[in-house]
Amino acid sequence: MWTADGADGSIVRIDPDSEQVTRISIGSAAPQGVAFAGGRAMVTVAGASTCAPMLQGKGAPDLVIISDLDLSPSSGQWTLPMVQAIKDVLERHGYRAGRFRIGYRSCDDSTAQTGVASAGKCQANARSTAEDGSVVAVIGTFNSDCASAELPILNGAGPHPVAMISAANSLVGLTKKAPGALVGEPEGYFPTGVRNYFRVYPADDQPAAAEALLAHRLGARRVAVLVRTSRGDPSFSAAQTSMQWFARAAASLDLATVWPRTALSGRKIADQLADRLARQGVDAIAVDQLDQDAIDVVATLHDRVGAVTVWVASQGSSSVYELRPALLRRLLARGVRLYVADAQIDQAGQLPQAGRAFMRAFGGPQRGLSDHVFVPYAAQAAEALLQAIAGSDGSRTSVIQQLRRITVRGGILGVFGFDSNGDISVSPIPVYRIAMTAGGPRWRGVVVDVPSALTSG
């Protein structure tokens, strides 16, 4: 029996009689499948690492960092500005980190065949990185699935794991056990036991935590948690998980939650549920999406208790946009406070002073760069990495140790470090209150700094 192991670049033969395992390396390409016929093994591969030429300052680089992003046309509108942001940071520092001269290469983890990132290409890039002793760190990846494919390879790179710092990964299981994490996460990503992964981008559970934190600050006493997505809907599991994130953060804040089991269908049942919630002392509702039934519950509950705050999960923000203006007006005219969190900070007004200054200098449209959503995160990842390298002895191990220890002050994203899981210690999360004006609904944002301890378990 033959099988492919993309993680270590080999094909594997298992003798069914003796159960002997034989590994055959096929080089830097990532094997994706293997078939055996006519006495020959035929292997499909994802291809070798694809990286741009080295960029550097004066003198030969002492150390090299790479970015590993999906640069395909489908993702390039976001990732090409990220590459430019990393270059800008390096140029500002003269391609130096303390006493070390730094080289930089931009690598692409997409393939021409698929037009997107592939696990095989991600693995090939990771193996190429691990084998290059001059590389001390990776800024990447863009896709969380690619990080899942690369981390075991970068972590098992001989006795010295390679640091990875991401400006875009949000998958919860990359760093911690929490609702939404898969079996074996995150331990399976770190076979050596050394945590070499860090991220400045908020994990998927952070927007829900921001809503819970703001609910607590606004004086909510008890929150009803509603899941409106149908069990038969493919997105039901994600909707339920988002509500679990809210409840988990609320519990850390000693904010009480209740989970009504009523299947909402029609105004009568909605009114009955609202009456029951009022008797239970509920004065706020967290819901995965707003629909007619949810609005009926909120409106009736508001009439019963006098003031209600509604928190819509970030994944359900589209349900607010899609509401008929009359329904939204009916809700807001009663005085209901309606909030929706987001993951990505608004570069124009919500970044701290250093972040706004960087974005003004970065420009973008004049460079032909269309989307800056991830630019502040990419720039901050580069800045944090240079700070860690400057404080290190230049080894991979020391860079990881310094990333664990650093405190970034006056940063593009503010003041932060990294927790023991590798998550940014404080995530700036925008939360928007929706108000009705003469011109229609208006979204007014406030930034909530969410400590990672609120969701670290």
Q: Where are the beta strands (DSSP E) in 235-312?
A: 256-258, 284-287, 309-312
Same fold, 50-202+351-423 and 206-342+429-454: yes
Token readout for 428 is 């700036």
Decide if 356 contacts 65 (C-beta within 8 A): no
Pairwise CA distance, residues 5 & 120, whole Å: 10
**pLDDT one-digit tens code per residue, 59-109:** 999 999 999 999 999 999 999 999 999 999 999 999 999 999 999 999 999
How is residue 398 written in tokens? 């020391």
pLDDT digits (tens, 9 = 90+) for 132-158: 999 999 999 999 999 999 999 999 987
Among candidate residues 296, 307, 205, 201, the one with its CA nearest the CA of residue 249: 205
pLDDT tier, 233 (very low <50, low <70, confident <90, very high otherwise) = confident
- CA pair distance 36, 424, nearest whole angstrom: 47
Confidence of residue 114 (pLDDT cuts 50, 70, 90): confident
d(CA 291, CA 230): 12
Element housing 36 (H / E)? strand 31-37
The one-character DSSP state at 162 is: P
40: pLDDT strictly greater than 50: no
What whole-number percentage of the chain has pLDDT above 70?
Answer: 87
Token digits for 453? Answer: 């301890």
**pLDDT for 268:** 87
pLDDT of residue 313: 87
On the 0-12 / 13-18 / 19+ scale of CB atoms within 10 A, 236 is middle
What is the structure's pLDDT at 157? 84
Q: Which homologous superfamily does the CATH classification assign to the domain defined by 206-342+429-454?
A: Response regulator (3.40.50.2300)
Residue 42's pLDDT band (boundaries 50, 70, 90)? Answer: very low
Q: Tell me the domain boundaries of the chain.
A: 2-45, 50-202+351-423, 206-342+429-454
Q: How far is residue 147's CA from residue 163's CA, in Å, rounded to a whole number?
A: 12
Give rounded-to-5 percent helix, strand, coil for the chain. Answer: 35, 25, 40
Q: What is the pLDDT of residues 20-34, one digit of tens each?
A: 556 565 555 555 444
Burial degree of 141 (CB within 10 A; 0-12, 13-18, 19+):
buried
Q: Beta strand pairing status for 414-416 and 408-411?
A: antiparallel
Q: What is the largest CA-CA distance in the chain?
A: 79
pTM above 0.85, yes or no: yes
Write out the CATH class of domain 50-202+351-423: alpha beta
Q: Of 294, 290, 210, 197, nearest to 245 (Cα)?
A: 210
Percentage with pLDDT > 90 across the chain: 65
With a cut of 90, say whether residue 174 has pLDDT above it: yes
